[in-house]
Structure 1
Amino acid sequence: ITVTYTVADDCGNTSQLTATLTLEDSTGPALLSTLDLPSSVICSNVPEVPQLDFEDTCSLNPVTVEFNETTTFTGEEEIYDIIWTWTATDDCGNENVITHTINVITENFTTPLEGEKCIEDGLIDLYDYLPEVSDNTIEWVAVTEGVTIIDGIFDPLEVELGDYVFTYTTLNNGCLNTFELTITIHDDCTVLPCGEDDLKISKAVTPNGDAYNEFFTVGGVEECGFIIDIKIFNRFGDIVYESRDYQNNWNGQSPSGSVGSAGRLPNGTYYYVIDIKDSGIKPLAGPLYLGTK
């Protein structure tokens, strides 16, 4: 700031004196925010980085604030430091540096995952079991002894039936996040579109030549290729008919020595037991009526 002083006497003579005042800003911006941060936490409780506000009475423009984070964590420490630094700069280049150090204790969080595969389903990509946010560059580790995996690929043909455990670990703010995957290898590989509810079993056999109910039939599973064994009993518990790989061709004929005439069983109520091989369906039993009407 330049100031000019002019001095005059009674005769109008004047004299001037010039003085220059220099105002220099040598103080950095002042912190307005309250820095309320912990000095020690576990890794899952590391707080969010706060936004700090500064002011500078000598600057015409807003204060510039830059944030920087450094850490001493290399992936192996159980305890490490996070250092947060805010640098506030005014128009004149003066700085105010605020630094806070947080001492962090690491933890390992485990998330269980499960899956099952048939031994004949082919190669298993373990990465398919991870959440979408996971990093496919991190390697899986086989916990179960004697198991080999290459680039996350597990071959079930190389192992016995049973459970196999693998782990996948990521780092997040120093916290270890481990996914523990258990895969069950089984041999239930063939799933046929047939079940007990699909079965259609005759309730009556009337071999009278009218083309209705001429034979005792077990239907509804023809497309599955099951082998059907049947036994038919009379009310006394005697087997009156038996067939392995039954072809829906019994029409009330009795085997040699059975009660009846002309090779035909008498009218009445009989009982069947049906065993559908390799279907997963338990043996079925029930009554059927045999008559000529």
Structure 2
Amino acid sequence: TVTGVDVTDNTDPCNVVITRTWTFTDSCDNSSSVSQTITVTDTTAPVATNDLSDITVNCNVIPDVPTLVFDDCSDDIMITDFNEDNSFDGTNNDYEIIWTWEFTDSCGNIGTASQIVYVNMVDTIVYESDSRCSDDGIIDLFDYYFGNDMSGTWEVISGDTTLNGSDFDPSIVELGDYVFNYTVADNGCLSTTEVTLNINDDCIVLPCGSENVKISKAVTPNGDQWNEYFEVTGIEDCGFVIEVKIFNRWGAMIYESNNYQNNWNGTTSKASVGNADKVPNGTYYYILTLKNSGLKPITGYVYLGTK
């Protein structure tokens, strides 16, 4: 009984050849031998040892693509293919990223690995607000956007209006608040700018000076629908409160109103002419005060007659 002797040929590390030889000699010194060839072929694919379990993250903390680490039995590993399948569609929906690798060792054995990253969407909102006059002209909403991506679309969130691209015309809408937003993709997340515009008429100069006040010169309450009342006009949109005092020729106050509504037609609110409800025809003196106007009281004369 003899033990074989091995001779190993490592010239090709992917196919190691072992020659095992047994030599026999009997008591008469007669010898013979027998041999066996064993070829050890590397057919085992390399294996990545990273933890490539599926993970769930927010879109603003997506990890970098991992660098693969391989088992000790593999050397000279080459990454032959890498693919990232990203289902992000630019909307406010969760999505997923799938990383896949293909790699080979020096013996041509091919291995694969993959990892799924489930991504929760985050929308970062920047709020902007402004007060604009209806006479300001066309407003470009991009004036309120401080990013670089202008490929998105502005949308009306609140208010009865439409947009022409990013242009908003305040002159064709009712006064009040209008809300718009603009959303674009930002490194796998969303970035939204929300703009609230208060449209007012503060810039419109109303005709509220003393030169705009129109006061009746005559009152003829005879039923012909002309000059039926003592009227103060021209300042209806100014928000003034009208105070009126009317006096007869002797200086007696015959009528007074702290919130005049253009309704005096000769009636008396003072018992200055006996017990009569109507004052006689004639010329009367008035003092007109426009509260909240900053204007001095206006005085003058008005004729009251039936013709």
Normalised to the residue count of structure 1, the TM-score between the two structures is 0.48
Q: Which has the larger radius of gyration?
A: 2
Normalised to the residue count of structure 2, the TM-score between the two structures is 0.46
